[in-house]
Amino acid sequence: EPEVTQTPSHQVTQMGQEVILRCVPISNHLYFYWYRQILGQKVEFLVSFYNNEISEKSEIFDDQFSVERPDGSNFTLKIRSTKLEDSAMYFCASMREWGSDTQYFGPGTRLTVL
Amino acid sequence: AQSVTQPDIHITVSEGASLELRCNYSYGATPYLFWYVQSPGQGLQLLLKYFSGDTLVQGIKGFEAEFKRSQSSFNLRKPSVHWSDAAEYFCAVGGYGGSQGNLIFGKGTKLSVKP
């Protein structure tokens, strides 16, 4: 069964450094998402992406964040200058079509900012 | 504002006992509702979903959930819990505008299973 994959599984970085989290969505899916889950808290929506542009973004997704689908298969989340509070599990999700469909989640990348 | 409440942070049940996990939502339109399960170190796996129609929906692993509009609830049930069901369970509602552009999650309920 096709699945969403994410790399790396764990990323440790120093505060102020840039990180790029990578996701490979399911191949025939058209809608892509990033969520995050700070330890002990709920999963929160960050951004959705369709047709090579951002569809929706939350208040969390400020100028430090960006997303890209550089090559038609990868979907990346970049954090330009990480802060301690960016430490979280980041989940990628993809969905085939709009409407009565389901978002499929990857296993997540745990980001630790020191 | 849209929100999801899971009032139970942690539930412990004995193996073979029945289970009900509660979920209440606040949403302006007819919601799309989901239950996801997260095992330690794993991603979120969809258990079941409700979009319309029959208010009792069946999912994987023997789970079911019932949508009750009058109570704004979407509780998850299983008649007989197995040790492998120990995990964290998240209820989610589809985003605004009748779409599911973004999911709003509850804080989750951690399920422990006693032998």
pLDDT at B95: 60
pLDDT at A99: 67
Determine the Cα angle at A35 with ends A31 and A36, to 5°: 165
pLDDT at A37: 92
CB atoms within 10 A of CB B5: 14
Separation of CA A95 from chain center: 13
Per-residue pLDDT of chain B (115 residues; tens, 9 = 90+): 788 999 999 999 999 999 999 999 988 777 889 999 998 877 889 999 998 888 999 999 999 999 999 999 999 999 999 999 999 999 998 864 444 468 889 999 999 999 9
Q: Is residue A20 pLDDT above 90, yes or no?
A: yes
Q: Of the candidates A4, A42, A55, which has its C-beta nearest B101's C-beta?
A: A55
Q: pLDDT tens digits, residue range A75-88?
A: 999 999 999 999 99
What's the count of helices (H) and strands (E) in chain B, helices before strands? 0, 12
pLDDT at B99: 45
pLDDT at B98: 42
Sign of CA dihedral B64, B67, B68, B74: positive
pLDDT at B42: 78
Q: Of the candidates A58, A98, A106, which has its C-beta nearest B43's C-beta?
A: A106
Give the closest-approach CA distance of A93 to chain B in angstroms: 9
Give the closest-approach CA distance of A108 to chain B in angstroms: 6
Which whole number is the average pLDDT over A44-67? Answer: 92
User: Which residue type does B105 have?
Assistant: F
Q: pLDDT tens digits, residue range A32-51?
A: 999 999 988 889 999 999 88
Residue A42 touches partner B, C-beta closer than 8 Å: yes
pLDDT at B66: 96
Cβ distance A56 to B42 less than 8 Å, yes or no, reads no
B78: left (phi over 0), alpha (psi -120 to 50) or beta: beta
Cβ distance B99 to A99 less than 8 Å, yes or no, reads yes
Determine the Cα angle at B26 with ends B20 and B47, to 5°: 40
pLDDT at B96: 45
